[in-house]
Structure 1
């Protein structure tokens, strides 16, 4: 019985020592083609506040509407792998000239995401 308890305790310690991997909230709307240009790359961030859910809207607009390129893909990479924010495309996106993305953090977490917009 003593060896069983010792073996169980060793397994618990080993399981706690293994590195944990966390999946971030990465998104890709559309497809990045070979002839596409990176229209914008920016970091969207907002600091955490204990006990609150943080939200932030990011809007992409092109200045010259007549010569504006069409968005083919939007790639969002979450830099906070443990308590990352979710992203929701609320308007525009692939096939349009602009886009608005809403980021929502977990309770007590912040927002830190890299947004890449591709088009042609």
Structure 2
């Protein structure tokens, strides 16, 4: 004989799942919009090991070699590879609409940085 789940129990389970997904979600970012005609200009892993008690920072710079033939960035996607305690990313220069970009990563105290940066353009 099958047991039915009460509405209150189901609501509780949904709330727990929502809470866990926000607690363990990484710090993912998307600046701009990836279009159908866009090319992936770069895909790089940005990482820096943890050091007990310290906040780690790392600067990622994307620069195209030939300014005359450089493509315009349409989107930057940052995917946090840590399941918890991931680093934050701030786009400090360039980005969508420009030819280059600089992103500053900052870890939580006592944790490292491990993110994947994808840059799209046309």
**TM-score category of the 2 structures, normalised to the smaller one:** 0.7 to 0.9
For structure 1, the 5+ residue unaligned runs are: 1-17
RMSD between aligned alpha carbons?
Answer: 1.3
TM-score (structure 1 length as normaliser): 0.83
* Runs of 4+ in structure 1 over 2 Å off: 18-21
Deviation by residue 1:30-78 (Cα, 9 ceiling, x = unmatched): 0000000000000000000000000000000000110000000000000
CA apart distance, 1:81: 1.9
- State the partner residue of 2:38: 36
- Residue aligning to 1:118: 120
Report what 2:92 is aligned to: 90
Report the Cα distance in structure 1 between the residues aligned to 2:86 and 2:25, rounded to whole angstroms. Answer: 9
Matches within 5 A, 1:69-84: 69-84=71-86
> Could you list the runs of 5+ residues in structure 2 that have no partner in the other structure?
1-15
1:104 corresponding residue in structure 2 = 106
Q: Which has the larger radius of gyration?
A: 1
Task: Provide the aligned length of Structure 1 versus Structure 2.
Answer: 103
Structure 2 residue aligned with 1:12: none
Paired residue for 2:52? 50
Q: TM-score, normalised by structure 2?
A: 0.82
State the SS of the aligned residue for 1:103: strand
